[in-house]
Chains A and B, each alone.
Chain A
Amino acid sequence: MEYLQFILIIILSPLINGVIRKLKAQMQGRPGPGLFQSYFDLIRLFKKDMRISNTTSWIFGAAPYILFTSTIVAAMIVPVITTVSPFSVMGDIIAIIYIFALGRFFMALAGLDAGTAFGGEGSSREMTVAILVEPMLMLSIFTAAISAGSTNIAMLASISGPIYTPSHILALSAFIIAIIAETGRIPVDNPDTHLELTMIHEGMVLEYSGKYLALMEWAHYMKQMLLFTLAVDIFFPAGIINNTEPAALAMSFGIYLLKMFSIAFFMAIIESSRAKMRFFQLPSLLEGGFVLAFLSLLTYIMTGR
């Protein structure tokens, strides 16, 4: 059973995206699409034919598979409902960040590959944001890792004792900013539009259609859910179990779903209450997040809490 917990992320990730979309629509006074709309979108895309530009190279065809599989590999390392995670010997939390970086690298290459202006624009913006987000993500993770004494996520998730210390709260706020930037949500990117002046993620996948687009979108949903799961594992580990009894697993699964829905609710609140920032204002937000993470690390080192 513990071998299969990454399947949960693969299966449930479109649902979480659907939940965020639905909640956001409700907050804005629209009925919004159904909860399972993301699944229908994916199924429809898988059925459709693809149009591939003749100017593209092999990278264009390889990128969706690399992105999809690398995200699944990252999902295997993360403990979802139990900290008994056999695949965690494959790598720790730093490995996950760089597995994400691998996927992002190929997505950016694929954006450039077709030679359209929007693809290049999207890729360049994605890499700019990535440069700013990565140190913040790393520093906030380091704070948690130092206090747990390990970078192994299963170890991080199974620590007991109080973790609601100042350094953890600072690290959590930096981590939330990093999640928003990594998943391309408002105020960094708008996931709902194809407006050429603002798009980042949509710009890179603009040339894709059919099956490839479905893989890209699915990988994006999975990455989003993975980051939420990481946040939960590192900062709210209460409720995750450290054995594999079926009854305990079921309960842990319920708690996990509850946590996911609360994060989705939180994201929907942020998305509805903030406006998209201008791209050139982004460094100031992300630098703020970096300083938060830096202060959290300093505070931890100096006070030991």
Chain B
Amino acid sequence: MNNWIEAYFVIDFISAGLLLTAVSMNALKRIESCVKAYTLNSWLLASLIFVIALMNGETHLYAAAGITVLSKGILIPLFLGRIIRKMRVTHEVEPYINNVVSLSISAVLVAVVYTSLSDAVFIEGFLKNVLQISIAVLLIGLFIMITRRKAVTQVIGLLFMENGLFLAGFSLTSGMPTIIELGVLFDVLMGVIILGIFAVQIRRTFASADLDRLNTLKG
């Protein structure tokens, strides 16, 4: 049952995919493709939990995987898509720094995370790698939030951070109690909805989704 997971490096592939989708955010030029990258990231996250559930045989992890797919893989992307259509913003991402520099910085971030966590002895085995990747995803999400101009892309950065956090918690505790996971997911869902409404309001008030405009006072 578990042989194919180890024989074909399934967990390694999924975690490499998680990292790659996060790094690819720095290279993508259209907001729609950023949402797609987030969707892929969430599906990979869910499949990682599913595979680990298969390995450990813990039933509550199946539930966690299912909830992750439903909320992060389906509901949030749909909602983000609706916001983007509703705001009728231009489709360019418009980062503060160009994508060559931001790709390099994200590579450096990953290197820093890998080297600084290589001596983390408190967990062993494949979960150590998962922890490293989760912290890397978290930092890349933060980096995206810092360097993006538009409200929606900042929300996507926040969501990446949340995916990273979820994964980090998961790798440290090998699955939190279902009620906590439910609470966190519900929190995120609400957070995204509120942020989405904010973004639409910003767009309506300032006639732009550019967060730099929020510096100026309006009487």
Mostly helix, strand, loop or mixed at chain B's interface?
helix
With A283-B100, A287-B104, A291-B106 known to touch, is A166 a contact of B13 (CB < 8 Å)? yes
Smallest distance from the beta carbon of A18 to chain B beta carbons, Å? 34
Q: Does A170 contact B (CB under 8 A)?
A: yes
Contact across chains for B16 and A170 when beta carbons are under 8 A apart? yes
Interface string of A269-286 (1 = CB under 8 A from B): 000000000000001100
List, in ascending order, chain B residues with CB within 8 A of A284's CB: 27, 98-100, 103
B-facing mask of A129-164, CB < 8 A → 1, else 0?
000000000000000000000000000000000101
Question: Which of B20, B100, B103, B118 meets A302, CB within 8 Å?
Answer: B118
B166 within 8 A of A: no
Answer yes or no: B12 CB below 8 A from chain A CBs: yes
A166 touches B100 (CB 8 A): no
Q: Is the CB of A294 within 8 A of B107?
A: yes
Report A-chain residues with C-beta under 8 Å of the C-beta of B104.
287, 291
Tally of chain B residues near chain A (CB < 8 A)? 24
B170 at the interface (CB under 8 A from A): no
Cβ contact within 8 Å between B20 and A295: yes
Across the interface, name the chain B residue whose C-beta is closest to A288: B27
Say if the beta carbon of B129 comes within 8 Å of chain A. Answer: yes
B16 to chain A, nearest CB (A): 4
Contacting pair B23 A166 (CB below 8 A): no
Residues in chain B near residue A166, CB distance under 8 A = 9, 12-13, 15-16
Give the shortest distance, in Å, between B29 (CB) and chain A (any CB): 9
Evaluate whether A302 and B132 lie within 8 angstroms (CB atoms) in the complex, with A166-B16, A295-B20 already known: yes
Does residue A54 face the partner (Cβ distance < 8 Å to B)?
A: no
Query: In the complex, what residue of chain A is closest to B129 when comparing beta carbons?
Result: A303
Question: Chain B 94-119 against A: per-residue CB contact (8 Å), 1 yes, 0 no?
Answer: 00001110011011001100100010
- Is B103 within 8 A of A291, CB to CB? yes
A residues contacting B by CB (< 8 A) are: 162, 164-167, 169-170, 283-284, 287-288, 290-292, 294-295, 298-299, 301-303, 305
B: residues with CB less than 8 A from A are 7-9, 12-13, 15-16, 19-20, 23, 27, 98-100, 103-104, 106-107, 110-111, 114, 118, 129, 132
